[in-house]
Amino acid sequence: MATIKVTRPKLTLLEKIYLPAVIKGLCITFMHAIRSMLGKTPGANENFNSSGLGVTMQYPEQKWDDQLPDYYRGVPALVTDEEQRERCVSCQLCEFICPPKAIAIIPDEIESDDPWAKVEKRPKEFDIDMTRCIYCGMCEEVCPEQAIYLRKDYAMTGLSREDMVNDKKRLYEIGGVRTGLVNKWNEIK
């Protein structure tokens, strides 16, 4: 290893007095403060949706939701397919793989007079406890029916523990409809 000898820079008398350097520094911060108030500092432009003071965004008013990537892992939710059929077949794979045990499913049989009777099972209850969920996305990966997805919502709040448990109805509300992908139950296709 080569040794690099660093010599201290020779200071001039003015630099040794220190006071001119302080005044120079004060000028720099003052000019920066002026530019900051005028919204001319780097980052304070429309590229970042910022509030004009640097790159800072003021959260509830300014969001960056349109910049979220497609693989963003937000709140997990259930989806229905193009014919309003709930995709989940209650195989419980997500319940078993869920690392923090946030998912609880009670399976139910589909009656024989139902048009989708041959699917055989659907969830009676499907609860995801958002106080436990770690947004790992394993449920989405393990689902053979592509029924559970991590959506881009991230602002999950509630005033009690019960509020933070998403039941089946809410999960479908968040998830909405997804078309395509799994067609095995559709006789027409």
Partner 1 sequence: MDPFLVLVISTAVKIFIFTFVLILPIIAYSTYAERRVSSIIQDRVGPNRVGIPLTLFGFKKDIPLSGLLQPLADGLKNLLKEDLVPDHVRKFFFTIAPALTAVPAFLTLCVIPFGSQITVFGESIKLVIADIDAGPLFVFAIASLSVYGITFAGWASNNKYSFLGGVRSCAQMISYEIALGLSVIPVLMVFGQLNLSDIVQHQADNGWLLLPLWGEGLTTERILLLIPLFISFVVFTTSIFAETNRMPFDLPECETELVGGYHTEYSSMKFALFFLGEYAAMIVGSALIVTLFFGGWSVGFGLDAAISEMTFGGLIHLGAFLAKVIGFVIFFIWVRWTVPRFRYDQLMKLGWVVFFELALVNIFLTAGIMMLVN
E strand intervals along 13-129 = 76-78, 103-109, 121-129
In the complex, least distance from residue 11 CB atom to partner 1, rounded to whole angstroms: 15
The CA distances from residue 180 to 104, 121, 133, 189, in Å, are 27, 20, 27, 10
- Alpha-carbon distance values, 81 to 22, 75, 112, 141 (Å): 67, 19, 21, 18
Q: Does 107 bind partner 1 (CB under 8 A)?
A: no
3-state class of 144 per DSSP?
A: coil
Q: For residue 129, what are the β-bridge partners?
A: 165
Q: Which is nearer to partner 1, 53 or 177 (CB)?
A: 53
Among 45, 58, 131, 186, the residue binding partner 1 under the rule CB under 8 A is 58
Q: Does 54 bind partner 1 (CB under 8 A)?
A: yes
Of the pair 20, 176, the CB lying nearest partner 1 is at 20
Binding mask 20-49 for partner 1 (x = CB under 8 A): --x--xx-xxx-xx--xx---x-xx-----
Contacts to partner 1 by CB under 8 A: 19, 22, 25-26, 28-30, 32-33, 36-37, 41, 43-44, 51, 53-56, 58
